[in-house]
Structure formats: C-alpha cells, structure tokens
Structure 1
C-alpha cells in the first residue's frame, strides 16, 4: 500500500493495486496516557519485527502530535536520525531485525474539534480511531492489517476523570498522590489501531450481566452522562439478545468477561465497535417509549447488535486494507438484518431494508459519487462509509446465501471464521469460503458484483404457448454506467419469481441469470389466465432495477393475489410512480388513478388479515426523496405539488374507509413496543391522508397526541402537520418544544420538524434554528437534523432564484471547518443535479462552483470534485 499521508499531501489516490504488506510486524504496543489540564502526554512503546530484510528505514503516520523524545531500544535518537514532515515520522537507518521504539509526545484533546483521534467534549475525553484517527493520538503506520496486543495505562485527576476506560480487561487500578489515579487495561486479542479506544470523564455506570452458552459470566457496563441512567434498559436488553442470538445462530460466543458501552452525544458515527469498549452516539443508546419511537427502538436494537456482531466480523477477523471495508461492514449489516428479522417480522424487515437501499443506495449509484462495493482507489477513506459499502455489500452476501442455500452458507461462514480468526482478511477470501464446495457458481464471475458500480437493469419478456403449456422467459441484463470497465461483464443474479396459475395457486422458483441474455423454459404451466402472470425479484432477491411486460391490469391482480410483502410494495409504488410522472408531465391518467383507488378501497375494507405496516406502505404516497432519483428532468416544486395533490385526492376518496380503520385500530395503539407498532405506523399514514384531505375533524385528535407518553405518536403528530399550513402547526410545535427542550436527544426531532415546514422568510426561519439557545454547535445530530430536513422535506430549498441552494452552500462552508465528515456526506445531496431542469440545474452548478472556489477539507474536496467531474 502506498503511504497514506504522503499521498494525501500530494492529492494522489490510494490504489488497491498498489497494496503490499507492511515491512514490519508490531506484535505488542504499550500506551501510557498522562491526562493533564491542557494536554495529554502520550508515551508509546512499539515492538517491531522486521519482515522485509531489505528495508532500513521506518515511516509512521501522525497528525498534530508534538514529539518530545524518541528512543530506539534504550538509545535516545538524535534529531539527525529522524525527521517529521508532511504528517509522517521517518527514522533511519534501522539495522536491527527486532527493536522497540519509544515515542514521548503530547496531544491537545481540548483543541481537537474534528471528533477524530482523541478529543474532549463536555469534559469527557473520547477517541474515534476508525478509519485513520489513531495517527492523531500516536505515531503508527495506522493501517488495518497490523494487528497488535495492546496494554494501556491511563493516569488522570480522580475528581475530573473518575472513570478511565480502554479495551480489554482491567488489570490494575490505584490511587496516586495529588488526587490522581491510574488504571491499566490489557487486551489479550491482537487488533488493528482503528479499534483502539479510550474514554475518561465523569460518567455513571449501569451494570448487568450475561451468562454465555459455556456458562461464563460476562459483566455488562453501560456508561452515560448524569441523568441518562433511566434510559439504558432497552439497550442492555438489546445487547443480551444479540449475544444470545450469535451463539444460537452461528455458535459465536463472547470472548471476554467484560463488555463496556459508552454513550456520548458529540460523536460523529452512529457507533463504533472498539474491542470490548463500544462507543455510541447517545441517540443510539438512550431510549424508552416516551422519548423514542418504535422505529428508533428497533434501530437501536439493530445497531447494538451490529456493533456486538463486529466482535467476530470486524474485530477477531478484520479487513486487510480499507478497500475490503465491506468485508466487515456489509457482512455485519447482513448479520444485524438477520437478527432483526428473527426477532420481529421477517417480511416487514425485508421490505424496509429493500426500501432503504433503493431510496439511498440507488440514488448514490446513479450519481457521480457512485463507486464499487470494493473500490479501486480513494483519496479520503472516510468518504467511503457509504450505503454502497454497507447496504449493497449486505445484499451481495444475501445473494450468496440465496445461491448456495442457508445450510451451505452457514457452513461456509463457519469455515471463514475458523480459518481467518485473528487475521486480516479480504472479500475474495470470504467469497471463496462460501462457494468452496459449490460446483454451480463461478467464484470469479460472482465477484464481479464487488467490482461494478451503478445499478444493473434486468429486462423480462414472456413467450407463452397456451396449447403446449410452455412458458419462456427472455431475460437480459445491462449496466448503463459505462465509466467502469467491469460494468460490461455479466453478473450472476438470483431471480425469485412466482407464476400465478389462478387466484390461489402459484409456482415459486429461483432463476439464476449468468449471461447478458438468457431464455428460461418452464413446462407444464397450467395457467387459467390468458398469459401467466409473473412477479419478479420476490423478497428483493438482488439489488437491481427491472422492467417487465406486465400490464396494469396484471399489476392490480398481483396486488390482490401476491403474498410476498416486498412484491406488493414494489408493485404499488410502481403504480404511484406512473401516476406521479403522468401528472408531472401534464398527462394525468384519471382511469389508472380511479382503478388504484378502487383497489385500495377493497384492500382496506375486505383484507382484514393484512399486516398493518404493509397496509401503511400501500397507502403511503411516495415522498420527494423516494421519487426524485426515479424521474428524468426533475422540477422539484412540481414534484412536491404533485405529491401534495395526490395525498389530497387519496385522502378525500378514501376518507370513509380511513376513518373506519382508524376506529378499528385505536384500541391497540397504546400497547408497549414491539406490540402495537404496526397500528402506530398505520395511524400516522391515515392522519396524513386525512389532514391533506382538509378534514377538519381529525385535527384535534392528532393534536391530543403531541403530549402523549408515546414518542411514536407524538412524533407522528409533528410529521403529519409538516406540510399543513394552519395555526395548529405552531401550537403543536410549541407544545413539543416546551416539553422536550431540556432533552437534547429528543429535541433534535423538533429541529427536524421546524426545518421541514414552509413559511415566509424561510431561510430566516432556518437561520433562527442555528441561533436557537438549545442548538448545540458540537452535536452532529442537531446539525444533521436541520440540514437534512431542509433539503429533503422543505420544497423552498428549491426556490427558483437559487437562494435555498446558496444558503445551504454557505452552511457547508461554515461547518466543513469543524466537521468535514458530516459535511462531505451531506454534500452528496447535490449529486443528482444533472437530472434537474433549469433553472434548478443551473443554480446548483452555480453554488457548486462557489463552494469549490473556497478552502475545503480533503473530505469535502474529494466529494465536490467527484460531483463536478
């Protein structure tokens, strides 16, 4: 691998093809942290074993570290034996094959506002080392394929920093003179530097325990800031469920007797899987039904599982280099999806995962920041923590499971764990283990999924011989993104289909497409229809788009006969998209609209056994962000108006049925999660439709829930008033704000709501949020709440004069200085500008050029260059 620091300073890309092992092993590291008022002294001892006997120098990475002394073994190095430049430390000559390097340095966490490395916030010292944060703490090669055993000593003032945590086991704790104390932590398992963690500060601990399958007692500790103790029960239960599930599903038992979690508000990531010391953004730990929605409770459960599952897929086995990031992230997303599916409703979970992928990852794949799941190059690795790496990576693994079947997949997974435990592995090695005994699937051909970017398109055409009862399905695949040479190669694509023979009988099969064009012949198809009706990619069996020759009438029959939740959802969203596009292009099809309304009325009235979350999806008109990337020549203001008009139409036409359903489900909406969650999801959809229909009788009922002891219902009341301009909107805003203004995690919902609503002097209203006394300038959550709501929910962001774009551009420049990770990811909202009509497209280009002319962080520079490329 090329030296990261050197390349970054020259704006050169790191390339996968240039990977080579590090010249040294570092089997053991001792870190001694002496925390003082304005600085932290860091004494690092690294044991080196030379692997490349032809090398006589050593290069280590470091940022903002003041070096006081360097020792090679016991000898103090003179300054002519080392140099520090361009964020790297060069030592030469080094003639020994084994040696210890001791570096005495100083860092200043209070002056570190990057939320990377070691930083202090609210009096708490925290670390975030993934991907390249450790180099802000100590000089190190800071790459994932160097695995070391860590021993850590921490010393600090006991009153200011009563809690001192690091990875592994606590082996010593002593009081020292002058009101100071020390602890020593030792991690028995080798790990890369990005998994190092340290937390020091005033934190309260909630304790619990878990007995593993071998009857080992694991102590569970969750550390939170004072006052947050009452919000951790859900997280503890989620962790214990995760530990039990991994034992039962994959025979993976936790390997230490201690598991610590720390909840920090000023934390850029959702959570970080540091070995035995997970650090979480507070939003993903603190929860109960009064402060947390049903969706958030399930997400917290899933994220806690995700970070715990990393103990094996990420920690015990890590990735060889950052190009293999999806090895740990895609695989662990797949595992947490399976966990949630087993605990809750598998069909609904699959629908939700597919919905998120198509909304977020398909958008990413269709724009200029599109990249393969295993990229070929990068400038800033932080920019590759994307839905492509995570969610699309998980989908590729799900396809593997579909292709080899569950038992074979589980055997391959177990073989991967046993073979690479304690090592840094690659995506190729994982795929090879899963397909090791499979004769049907070509390993190298399947790996093309990791090399392509863009979303493939599959086309279907039926050929039906009714007399001979032979159905032929002609299938072709294409990737319209031509920037990647791998995109011309055919993919192996599993296609779950159902062939409907009549209203109650269907044939389910999995077709495996291997070439660019294939024809599948199915015999003895005794269909009662003029042509067999087929549903494709049931259960979303591959992350692709597709086109079929299915007629509108057949789609309505699929809605009536299909049992696969995803297919039902996909079918009706396709109909909604057609209706929206017809209206946008001023060619409304009233016949299609009326037939859909008739079908929906029948479903609400007659299908009493339908899952209520599924019914909610069926009744939900797509939002702007869901439809934006599906339309060519986007006029955003017209899209928003069309969606509002359809909500009015469907709410008006279905009012009687919606009110009856509201009465029917009302008795279950107060049940404790996870019970009642389907009813609560549906109630928000019904409220929205009825409010858009201008039915005044629903307003007081919705308002009555804003002060509910269920955050799901309180937030639903906020959400449904977002686009309803009436005096009651300000009333519910004030009620919610006054109730929750002292709870920053919950108050982010209010910031999101306020940034979503459209009022006169809109940018003045948004600016007032940034100046609100409860806006926390260091909180990534609050910053994202305001910015994301404004650009995805507020049509005035798309003002024809470009003022909304210019306002956001100024915020990007302002906050890029303090939080480039959040801003570089947020900047991607402009990535679809080529699909926009003028003046929107012209206005976006103008603000992008404006942003580019300013001094930017490397993260943001890489993204804007990609967008404008």
Structure 2
C-alpha cells in the first residue's frame, strides 16, 4: 500500500485497447482455509488479432507457486509490477497457475476475505486479481467452472455462481462442491461463499414456466428477518418480466448476507452478496426506511442480471451503462410499490444531497469519466444517480412505448457482450426515431445546468411569454461548456382561479436561450416548471413568494407542489441566514394550508412540510455560514412548531395506529406522526420530552422508537441519556441496530455533538474494521454541517485522523468518507484554511493508498 514517490499514473478512456488475449473458459479449484487458501486456476486462452504480445495476467500481492502451459511447468514467466507475464508462441493454450492467499488478513474486503466466520468474495471493480492471476478487466468474458473443498464442520455450505453440478465428502473431514455458470461473464462478477449458514428457500415460476429455486443465506438466528427480502425478490422478478420482458435464466438464484461489506450489495451472476443491512428486517430492528431500502437494493441487484450481467460494460469508464440504467429501473420498481410522488421526492432529495454537491466541487466528473487513478473512487452519485436521471430524460423524450422498444433492442443486440454508453444511446435513437447527438453531452460534461426563467404576461392581449436561458458552470478540467438538451415539463395556472391555463408541455431547451409564447392567457399566469423533476437542473426563476405559496396549494403535479413549498422555505431560510431575521409568515401560511388540504396522502404531507436540510441551504450560498444557517433553520422550526402546535398535536393523535403493519398507508401515517412529534419538540412545549419518551417506551417498531430517540438526542432533556442507555442495552448484540445508535448521535443538532462523537470513537463498540460502523459514526458526522464545521477545526482534525487510520485497513471506505473536507472553498477564510491543512496532512501521510491519495489530492487542488 506504499504511496509512490510521484503521483500515481492516471488511466485514460482514450487509451482503451481491446484485450490481446481472451479467456473463453476458466476452471477454478479452491482449497479453502481462512489462513491459507490454495487457488488452482486453469485458463483456456486465445490470442486476439495479429500480434506477438505475451499473456499478461493481473495480480495483487500473491506470488505464483507454479505456472504451467499446456500441462508443462515453465520457468520463463516473470512478474512486471503486479502482472504475471507468460510468453506464449501459439494462438491457443491452457495456462495453469497456483497461488496461496490469506483471507483472514484481508481487511480491504476485496477479493476473498473472512467475515463473521465465513469466507466470501467481493470482486468489483478489481478484486478478482487478489484471488488469482487473470486479465481482470470487464471486457474479458469467460464461462466459469468452480470446485471448492473445505472443512465440512466449519464450512458446511459452499456456494458459487451459476447452478450446482455436484458435491461430495472426503475421508479427511472435508467436503466439496462444484458449480457451473454457462453464461460468459467478466471476472468482477465472480462470487464464492463458504460458511455455516441457514437458508430461507422460496421459488419463482418464470413467464415461460421455468421453476427457479430461490435462497437467502444468513446466520441461523437471522432467518426470521429474511421474509421481506424474499418477498421483494419475487416482486422484482415479476416486475422485470412485466415491464421489460426480462426472464431469469438460471435454475437457482441465491443471496448471501455478510456483515463486512464495502458496498450495499453485489450482483454476481446467480449469487448476490449483500451487506446484512440490506437483507435483515423485522419491525423491532428495522425502520420503514430500512424496509424500503432492502426492497430497492434487492430489486437493483436482481435487475442487474440483464442490465449489467448479460450485458456488461466494455471498460470501467462505461460504469454508468449498467449502474445508471439499473438505478433508474429500481427507482421505477419502488415507485410502483407505493407512492410514486413520494418516491420521486426521495430520489431528488438524495440527488441534491449527494450528487449536486459532487457536481459543483473538486471531485466533479462526467457520467462517463475521461480518466481515473483508482476506479473504486468512481462509484459515485454522479455515475449512479445522475446516470439514472439521464435514462429518465431519454425515457421522457421517447415516451413509454418507444422507450420499451429501445430497451428491447438494446437487450437483444448486446446480449452476451461488453457494451458502451454509446451503444445504449444508439439503441434509444434507432428505436425511438430521435436524434440524440447533442444529448450525448450529458455523458461528457460534468456540472449541474442552471436554468434562469422569466414569465411575462400582457393582460390586454392574452399573451404570456416564457424566457429560458441555460448555463453550465465550469468544473475541474472543463472550463468551456456547451448547451445541453434539457427536457422541461411545464404548465401554466391562473393566479385568480387556480385552474390550469395550458396542458402540460414538454419543452426541449437545447440552446443557450429560448422564448416561448402562449396565446389566450386571460389571467395572470403562474409557472409550474420542471414538473416531476424532468431534468436534473437548478431552476432560477422570478416567481414570488406568493407564486410559490399558490403552487404549493394548487399545482396538480405532486412533485411540483412539493418543490414550490421547498423553494419557498429555502428562499426564506437563505434570506434569514444573510439578514439575521427570518420572515416566516409566508411559510407558516403555506404549511397550514397544506396540512388542512383534502385528499393529500400522509406520506406526501410529511415530505411537504419538512424544512430543507442545513447542507442544502448552504449549497445555495456563496460562502457557507454553518452557525447562521443552523440558527435560521431552528428559528423557523420553532415558529412552525409553536404557531401550528394544535395542528401538530391533532395529527400526532390522528396518525397513531393500534399495532404495527407494513403497508404504504401505515408507513405514511407513521412518517407524518413522527414529523409532527419533531415539530412539537421544536415548539419548546414543556411536555415534548415526556411525549417522546412515552413513544420510545410504547413503540412496537423501530421506526417509532428511533424517531423518538432522535427527538430526545437533539434535546437537552434529562430523558436523553436514559433513552440512549436503554436503547444500547436492548440492542447491544445487534450490530445493525447499534449502527443506528452511533449514527443518531453523530447527526445530533446539539452544540456538543463534536465532543460526543470524539468520545464515541473510543467506545468499546466502535470499530473501523466494519464499514457499516465507520459510516455510521465517521460518515454521519461528516455530513452534520454544524458539528463538523466547528470554528476551531476540531471536526476537521477528527475526520482526518479517522481517515488516515481507516486507510490502513480499508482504503476504499476511507476514500468515500473524504468529500466533506473537499468543500473548503465554500467556507470562510479560517475554516477554509483549517480544512485545507487537514487535506494536506492526509496527502503527506506516508504509505497512503491510491484510493485516498486520489480523492485528497484532487480535493486540495
């Protein structure tokens, strides 16, 4: 892991060359042991094209014990860097290697590693090279045959990709299993699991009548917590058949849950490996958010079977080909399971919280990047979430019928191949009958477009004129930007009558500016724009507070209605932060009208009345003032709580439920009740803490219990410490719930949160070796704007210390937690200096990984 004396070399998209050798087939023979696993690999290799290059196989740390070519041991192989170079004279050979690896010392959690007494793999992006020597790139597709031998008592379950072929026992107390995956796949999709696991079995009959055996493998004690995940899997399989016509293609589909995992989950062909947090759920330990996240991630990984596995990406620059498309698919699936409006609100909130800041900071990069030092650093919100928005925009422009035809064409044309983003867009063009030449800029240009909007009305002539102009800010390496194609859904409403004056119209803004005229507009119009968030842009309009309040009450697009309220709140809070005075009347009136409106579902009401986050408020300002933002937001929360206290108390009582059930309506009622509890607490009501503690004690589900705990943790009430102690005692043996205990405190709005987090980092239950625990405390603290940005720089020092320590164990996780320090340009001079000093300290740390070096060095430039 030693940091090179010079900057690590960047890999560039323009340098892509097809592989010189292909590997049609590979056979792997594992003798599994945590301390010393032997891996024997047999590769059938075929020269590709006319060249005399040797075979180059990627590795990471291991030394080959033997190398054979066509059954004969050779000695003229060599190691160059981390590649095994084998001179080969002919065009087709059988190459065998044998290596030894140590899974129990693999803290990076890439390749084959130990977790909770089990052995498992994570190979995306470049983990397979830590298992054996192989051309570890996504455009080398192979048919895999795998044999595993392990101690039967210790590892009674042996799983791999594909379908099981054979199994048996040996006289020495070991047993073996063989698996075969008939579908060619890249090495990053290889998976293996060995352990003492129990299975929750199910089945699914495909649309062609094939029976598929389903299995979710967990520790025996966790079996009761797998019902929801299995149900979500069946729903996803049926949905993909119905919406995309995609049928599952193997006889078995297995999911394994592990505690130590860098990602949420991994789509390995036929053997998905999951972070336990995205599988295990029961009402006592999982919130409604957890339930929804489990269903979404299970669906996401299953959908990858076609959008990622059957068609993979040619190179890692095309990562969004599979991830952007699959995120879009899982978002649509989730929208179909409950409230589509609330799902869209949640997705956009997430985009603004993570991707918009990324697009405006030092780590900004296009959806299809041009270069990278460490590919793991490009598993970002831009690749995933912005990539999904690109698919959504194309779906909007094509319409549902043509979009389905285009995806059918894509699946049929590129099945079994490694494709590119360009291949996908070309299918959209061909089947959709549309020219997407300019739209391709979305893949090449970083940055979030900003659209300025002005609407003028001529009362006498009945004419309204809409003026639009777009601007894409400069980003690192891209100072000159070109106009994008922006699909903007708009509609005009009458300010006096509240009725719609026009139909919803889709405008494709593809120039720097455009003017659109509407005739027959007999009353002053109010503009509803970017309805449904049809384009991932920032709207800068001349709409007044009265216009926004009007839209929050009358817009017939649920997202636009929510957006109007959010913009009204945001404008109020930005002005209050700058001026020191919060003019709250317009927000108070708008929220009151929304709460009294008829026909709005509780889940939507809960989202509509929440204030924008402190981070999002800061994103609107040239210089972020964390203390002033916090003060303004707390003042508005207090005003909303106090002025509307009778309404909050009524809702708190009305939304109560006799017993826990998991339905969309019940989730919405819980959500609104807990939002009401938060506002009751914000009002300063003397019984707020007692109300929260009573809910904490009476709760029959984690959603209500954690909401009550959060309310208390944000307060100065004496009940706070009691609730924290009892929560910890109750869930001391449940790692996933303890993550919530750490995270809730790290996100607290109290002034002493920084000191509390520093103490928690020394708590016996805190460890950096588990990525979930590191994210729960260190990651959550980094996004707590007020606490992290303490004026004395203590938050910056804490994060830097934790990242340097974590980098020695798990560079990938460390790198993902660094971005809060990269926002130093947005803060006042002293904070900026202190943040930059910590970035410098990180960069200058001896032995820094490529992962953290790339992120820190780019952030400091």
| TM-score higher than 0.5 | yes
Match of 2:508 in 1: 512
* 2:745 paired with 1:754: yes
**d(CA) in 2 for partners of 1:743 and 1:331?**
34
Contact 2:341 2:604 in 1 (8 A): no
**d(CA) in 2 for partners of 1:797 and 1:414?**
48
Match of 2:344 in 1: 350
Query: Which residue among 684, 687, 696 is the counterpart of 2:674?
Result: 684
790-799 vs 350-359, greater mean Cα deviation = 790-799
Match of 1:522 in 2: 518
557-566 vs 252-261, greater mean Cα deviation = 557-566
Match of 1:457 in 2: 450
668 and 520 in structure 1: CA distance in 2 versus 1, 3 angstrom threshold: farther
690-699 vs 253-262, greater mean Cα deviation = 690-699
Match of 1:184 in 2: 178
Match of 1:89 in 2: 84
Deviation at 1:555, TM superposition (A): 1.4
* 2:542 paired with 1:552: no
**d(CA) in 1 for partners of 2:478 and 2:115?**
46
Query: Which residue among 614, 638, 641 is the counterpart of 1:648?
Result: 638
Alignment of 1:594-673 (within 5 A): 594-605=585-596, 607-667=597-657, 670-673=660-663
**d(CA) in 1 for partners of 2:544 and 2:724?**
45
Q: Secondary structure at the match of 2:534?
A: coil
221 and 832 in structure 1: CA distance in 2 versus 1, 3 angstrom threshold: same
248 and 438 in structure 1: CA distance in 2 versus 1, 3 angstrom threshold: closer
Contact 1:461 1:474 in 2 (8 A): yes
Deviations along 1:559-615, one digit per CA (max 9) or x if unpaired, are: 12112222122212222222222222225253xx1122122223223x132222222
Deviations along 1:219-255, one digit per CA (max 9) or x if unpaired, are: 1111102311110000000000000001111111110
638 and 559 in structure 1: CA distance in 2 versus 1, 3 angstrom threshold: same
**d(CA) in 1 for partners of 2:804 and 2:676?**
40
Deviation at 1:770, TM superposition (A): 3.0
Deviation at 1:546, TM superposition (A): 1.4
Match of 1:820 in 2: 811
Residue ranges of structure 1 left out of the alignment (5+ in a row): none
Query: Which residue among 486, 490, 497 is the counterpart of 1:497?
Result: 490
Deviation at 1:36, TM superposition (A): 3.5
Contact 2:487 2:507 in 1 (8 A): yes
Contact 1:9 1:86 in 2 (8 A): no
**d(CA) in 2 for partners of 1:456 and 1:825?**
25
Deviations along 1:608-655, one digit per CA (max 9) or x if unpaired, are: 322222222222122222322222211212222222222112111111
Q: Secondary structure at the match of 1:515?
A: coil
Deviation at 1:112, TM superposition (A): 1.1
Deviation at 1:301, TM superposition (A): 0.3
Deviation at 1:721, TM superposition (A): 2.4
Alignment of 1:420-431 (within 5 A): 420-431=414-425
Alignment of 1:471-482 (within 5 A): 471-481=464-474
Match of 2:571 in 1: 578
Deviation at 1:60, TM superposition (A): 1.3
Contact 1:723 1:757 in 2 (8 A): yes
505-514 vs 7-16, greater mean Cα deviation = 7-16
Q: Secondary structure at the match of 1:647?
A: helix
Query: Which residue among 271, 277, 282 is the counterpart of 1:283?
Result: 277
Query: Which residue among 429, 435, 439 is the counterpart of 1:446?
Result: 439
* 2:686 paired with 1:696: yes
Contact 1:320 1:426 in 2 (8 A): yes
**d(CA) in 2 for partners of 1:6 and 1:755?**
31
Q: Secondary structure at the match of 1:447?
A: helix
262-271 vs 775-784, greater mean Cα deviation = 775-784
**d(CA) in 1 for partners of 2:4 and 2:463?**
60
TM-score using structure 2 length: 0.96
**d(CA) in 2 for partners of 1:376 and 1:6?**
23
Deviation at 1:278, TM superposition (A): 0.2
Contact 1:629 1:832 in 2 (8 A): no
* 2:81 paired with 1:99: no
**d(CA) in 1 for partners of 2:660 and 2:164?**
44
Deviation at 1:521, TM superposition (A): 2.3
* 2:308 paired with 1:311: no
Match of 1:221 in 2: 215
Q: Secondary structure at the match of 2:416?
A: coil
* 2:21 paired with 1:24: yes
Deviations along 1:718-775, one digit per CA (max 9) or x if unpaired, are: 2222321111111211121111111111111111123334778755532432333333
Query: Which residue among 751, 774, 784 is the counterpart of 2:775?
Result: 784
Query: Which residue among 304, 309, 317 is the counterpart of 1:323?
Result: 317
**d(CA) in 2 for partners of 1:45 and 1:470?**
74
Deviation at 1:698, TM superposition (A): 3.1
Q: Secondary structure at the match of 1:831?
A: helix
Deviations along 1:390-422, one digit per CA (max 9) or x if unpaired, are: 000000000001111110000000010000000
Contact 2:236 2:333 in 1 (8 A): yes
**d(CA) in 1 for partners of 2:772 and 2:664?**
25
Deviation at 1:365, TM superposition (A): 0.5
Alignment of 1:706-721 (within 5 A): 706-707=696-697, 708-721=699-712
57-66 vs 478-487, greater mean Cα deviation = 478-487
Contact 2:38 2:98 in 1 (8 A): yes
Match of 2:857 in 1: 865
Deviation at 1:117, TM superposition (A): 0.6
Deviations along 1:469-501, one digit per CA (max 9) or x if unpaired, are: 232222111111154558521111111001113
**d(CA) in 2 for partners of 1:761 and 1:338?**
41
Matched length: 855
Contact 2:217 2:257 in 1 (8 A): yes
484 and 459 in structure 1: CA distance in 2 versus 1, 3 angstrom threshold: farther
**d(CA) in 2 for partners of 1:133 and 1:71?**
23
**d(CA) in 1 for partners of 2:652 and 2:389?**
36
Deviations along 1:241-287, one digit per CA (max 9) or x if unpaired, are: 00000111111111011000000001111000000000000000000
Contact 2:659 2:700 in 1 (8 A): no
860 and 619 in structure 1: CA distance in 2 versus 1, 3 angstrom threshold: same
Match of 1:170 in 2: 164
Deviations along 1:298-324, one digit per CA (max 9) or x if unpaired, are: 111010000000000000000000000
**d(CA) in 1 for partners of 2:785 and 2:450?**
31
Residue ranges of structure 2 left out of the alignment (5+ in a row): none
Match of 1:765 in 2: 756
483-492 vs 267-276, greater mean Cα deviation = 483-492
TM-score using structure 1 length: 0.96
* 2:782 paired with 1:795: no
* 2:418 paired with 1:395: no
**d(CA) in 2 for partners of 1:422 and 1:7?**
39
**d(CA) in 2 for partners of 1:730 and 1:32?**
54
Q: Secondary structure at the match of 1:255?
A: coil
Contact 2:553 2:593 in 1 (8 A): no
**d(CA) in 1 for partners of 2:710 and 2:752?**
21
Alignment of 1:3-22 (within 5 A): 11-22=8-19
Query: Which residue among 153, 176, 183 is the counterpart of 2:147?
Result: 153
Deviation at 1:807, TM superposition (A): 1.7
**d(CA) in 2 for partners of 1:37 and 1:637?**
50
488 and 742 in structure 1: CA distance in 2 versus 1, 3 angstrom threshold: same
825 and 688 in structure 1: CA distance in 2 versus 1, 3 angstrom threshold: same
Q: Secondary structure at the match of 1:547?
A: strand
Over the aligned positions, Cα root-mean-square deviation in angstroms equals 1.9
